[in-house]
Amino acid sequence: MERTLSIVKPDGVKKNVIGEVIRRFEQKGLRVAGLRLIQLSTQDAKNFYIVHKERPFYESLTSFMSEGPIAVMVLEGDNAIATVRETMGATNFKDAAPGTIRADFATDIERNVVHGSDSVKSADYEIPFFFSSLDLH
């Protein structure tokens, strides 16, 4: 059993696909262990994406991630991290496999609808960033 953090990004919330994203994760056998709708400040977004602070897209990404509400969730199940990454598709929607969330809904390499932790180490940083143990079920 493994836990991972996923986010429906501001573009996904605006496209009204929160339910569709969750449905796809549930259909893969994952269970929602925690769920919140929140809006980040730009500083919150910078802290969340701190691993990317030297990347050229850091300022634009953190501005985008704070432009509107996001749906943040913890998903639980066997191989949850890899299952979420497969269901999301590649970072660049142009490279994302058919039938993945990003292939179906993303419009831009930045505005790619969904986030998922990329490793156990990332999940161990990202889950407590948003959820206390009392918020996880």
Point out the residues that are catalytic: 115
Q: For the chain, where are the E strands, in sequence order?
A: 2-8, 31-38, 70-77, 114-116
Beta bridge partners of 38: 70
Rule CB under 6 A: say whether 62 interacts with ligand UDP.
no
Pick from 20, 76, 104, 118 the residue near ligand UDP by CB under 6 A: 118
All residues at 6 or more sequence positions from 66 whose CB lies less than 8 Å from its CB, including other chains: 10, 39, 40, 41, 42, 44, 45
How many residues lie near ligand UDP (CB under 6 A)?
Answer: 8
Q: Look at residue 112 and give the partner it binds from Mg ion, ligand UDP, none, a contact being a CB closer than 5 to 8 Å depending on partner kind.
A: ligand UDP
Rg (CA), the chain: 14
Residues of this chain, 73-92, that bind ligand UDP according to CB under 6 A: 91
Binding site for ligand UDP (CB under 6 A): 57, 61, 91, 109-110, 112, 115, 118
